[in-house]
Amino acid sequence: MMSRNSMYTNPKPCKHLADYKLRHGLSGYNLLQEQIRTTPSGKSSVKNHQTEIPRCCFCNGYQKRLYLCLICSSISCSSHTLLHSQCENGHDIAVDIERSELYCVLCCDQVYDPDFDKIVMLKHLMDLPRSGNGVDVSAGRRSSKRRRLCSALELDLKKTKQLVSMRDLRAKSCYPLGLRGLNNLGSTCFMNSVLQALLHAPPFRNYFLTGQRNHEVCRKRSSDRLCLLCDIYVFFSAVFSGDRTPYSPAQLLYSWWQHSANLASYEQQDAHEFFISMLDGIHENGVKARSPIKDTGECHCVAHRVFSGQLRSDVTCMSCGYTSTTYDPFMDISLNLDTGNCPSTDLANKSLKPSDNTYVSTLLGCLDLFTKPEKLGSDQKFFCENCQERQDSVKQMSIKRLPLVLCLHIKRFEHFPVRRMSRKIDRYMQFPFCLDMNPYLSSSVVRNRFGNRMFAFEGDELDTSTEFEIFAVVTHSGTLDSGHYVTYLHLKDQWYKCDDAWITAVEEEVVRASQCYMLFYAQKMLYYKANEDLVCQPVSPRADPFLPIAGCC
């Protein structure tokens, strides 16, 4: 079973490989399997005797690439493979000894055969201490995948038909729905900026606008206590009401203060911290209101359904190759800026990459950095279950499951507790409007560890899309102590700058040049659906089309 992902469709075998397969099938591969050895770092080589040095049978050389004939096991160097094929008819397919990769002598090129790769992989896995190592070659379907899809659809498709039916198709030239300035209530731009982003996170928005949050029967409200979810609901209704005068989210601010008492002040707060604490508040309020779900470990509150994903962390022992894998949920991913610095060239003046001044940080660079294998320092030696002692190890992160809405946080605030100093990193970072998260998925990352192999991987999420579209950017300007947050929203192919109470349409270059702090991406399908519904309506102060109609839920 092969992944439908276009990056991994099998190249067609050359004529010679096809002939070889017809004649010999898998027998050559199977006989070779015994001789394959894999290092802890994942490199597979063919070694028939531990100490014998393989040499070319024509020139006795051992310095070049050596190829082992699959039919007669004779070894030739890259200069003499053709000679061997000429001497022996049909001996066209060989294996690169050092890399365990197939080579066609007549095509003078590397060739690929999933059957071969499977055999190499199996041997590798068999040799690893305690099989598993996070890789299961069998393809199993999990029912939780279905549940997630259903959850996404529920939040999106079913109820938005209501919105669509209420469109006024005549209105074309006014601003889209849900665009409303937010008054600054005293250094609350950190809150306003995040709220603007939340207002337009497709599944989040739909949840609150389509009456899934039934605030009529909220128990807390009826007993006159504060309910964060109800306050958010009221907030959404107000912003999407069509009234364009700037709104003061005072009730919401007060509600949030109740929840995060430690952050309740008129000081400027960190927008990211606000975002996390807001989601946390929604989760706590949501969980109490619902009956406990079956033990799936997945929370069904709107915050989790929209934003939560799962990270995978692999720690590999450098001595024996044993890998310990853990999974952790996440609501957002915090990324360090990639600066293009590399350790070994710091010492010398010569370096391959141009100096820091001209290297541009990019989001993809940051994501690469996030999923790069990281050598753990000698003070962080990992206790290897297999070796039964502390060993040097390598850690690698990857994304096991993507959320519907991906929030990426760029770590621009550096804190030095020892020196009791904090500073902001102003470095510009380039970010794309369309993001394909496929290379950062666990399935891709783990697959890369095994080199150039073609095989189906347990984690291949065939039906989940990895393509995301940006819909909001929260930017920060100024210093750590006195700065300002502004959000750019991407609605219906137009960018809008939301600076507290002032909303203006801007060109995309402005957004690209901005200093991003938090990036919000939605799964492509959800983003385009959401934008279909956002046709503007004329201002009607009294009419509120988005209150739930009684009886319809």
Partner 1 sequence: MSAKRSSINRPPTPDVDRDRENQEPTLQEIINIKMIESGEKERLKELLRERLIECGWRDEMKSLCRAYTRKKGRNNVTVDDLVHVITPKGRASVPDPVKAELLQRIRSFLASTAT
Residue with smaller CB distance to partner 1, 107 or 226:
107
Residue with smaller CB distance to partner 1, 32 or 229:
32
User: In angstroms, rounded to a whole number, what is the distance separating the alpha carbons of residues 470 and 166?
Assistant: 26
Q: Is 7 in the site for partner 1 (CB under 8 A)?
A: no
Region of 196-204, 270-278, 324-332, 337-345 interacting with partner 1 (CB under 8 A): 337-345
Region of 101-109, 137-145, 270-278, 417-425 interacting with partner 1 (CB under 8 A): 101-109
| Binding-site string for partner 1 from residue 9 to residue 48, where x marks contact by CB under 8 A and - marks none | -------------------x--x-------x-x-------
Q: Name which position in 350, 419, 420, 542 contacts partner 1 (CB under 8 A).
A: 350
Q: Is 353 in the site for partner 1 (CB under 8 A)?
A: yes
Q: Least separation, in Å, of the C-beta of 124 and partner 1?
A: 17
Q: Give the per-residue SS3 of 147-195.
A: HHHHHHHHHHHHHHHHHHHCCCCCCCCCCCCCCCCECCCCCCHHHHHHH
Residue with smaller CB distance to partner 1, 224 or 346:
346
Residue position matching structure tokens 């070319």: 56
Which member of 189, 230, 366, 407 is catalytic? 189
What is the token pair recorded at 174? Answer: 């006014």
Residue with smaller CB distance to partner 1, 290 or 353:
353
For 249, phi then psi, to 5°, come to: -80, 55
DSSP 15-64: HHHHHHHHHHTTHHHHHHHTTEEE-TTS-EEE-SSSSPPP--TTT---SS
Q: Least separation, in Å, of the C-beta of 162 and partner 1?
A: 49
Q: Name which position in 6, 7, 22, 51 contacts partner 1 (CB under 8 A).
A: 51
Report CA 347 to chain centroid distance, whole Å.
34
Q: Establish whether 189 is a catalytic residue.
A: yes
Contact predicate 24/70, CB 8 Å:
yes
Residue with smaller CB distance to partner 1, 322 or 546:
322
Residue position matching structure tokens 């997630």: 148
Which member of 16, 24, 259, 484 is catalytic? 484
Q: Name which position in 165, 223, 344, 482 contacts partner 1 (CB under 8 A).
A: 344
3-state secondary structure of 506: strand
Region of 104-112, 121-129, 217-225, 265-273 interacting with partner 1 (CB under 8 A): 104-112
Q: Least separation, in Å, of the C-beta of 322 and partner 1?
A: 17
Q: Name which position in 22, 217, 261, 352 contacts partner 1 (CB under 8 A).
A: 352
Q: Is 169 in the site for partner 1 (CB under 8 A)?
A: no
Q: Name which position in 9, 10, 110, 265 contacts partner 1 (CB under 8 A).
A: 110
Q: Which of 317, 323, 314, 319 is nearest to 125 (CA)?
A: 323
Q: Name which position in 7, 348, 418, 550 contacts partner 1 (CB under 8 A).
A: 348
Query: What Rg value do the Cα atoms of the chain yield, rounded?
Result: 29
User: In angstroms, rounded to a whole number, what is the distance separating the alpha carbons of residues 530 and 532?
Assistant: 5
Q: Least separation, in Å, of the C-beta of 374 and partner 1?
A: 11
Q: Is 53 in the site for partner 1 (CB under 8 A)?
A: yes
Beta-sheet pairing, 93-96 with 101-104? antiparallel
For 170, phi then psi, to 5°, come to: -70, -35
Where is 304: in which H helix or E strand?
helix 302-307
Q: Establish whether 49 is a catalytic residue.
A: no
DSSP 460-484: --SSS--EEEEEEEEEEEE-SSSEE
Region of 289-297, 302-310, 345-353, 520-528 interacting with partner 1 (CB under 8 A): 345-353
Contact predicate 433/494, CB 8 Å:
no
Residues 56-85 that bind partner 1 (CB under 8 A): 57-58, 60, 62, 65, 71-74, 78, 84
Contact predicate 543/219, CB 8 Å:
no
Contact predicate 123/314, CB 8 Å:
no
Q: Is 482 in the site for partner 1 (CB under 8 A)?
A: no
What is the token pair recorded at 525? Answer: 């399908």
Site for partner 1, rule CB under 8 A: 28, 31, 39, 41, 51, 53, 57-58, 60, 62, 65, 71-74, 78, 84, 87-88, 103, 107-110, 340, 342-345, 347-348, 350-353
Q: Which residues are catalytic?
A: 189, 484
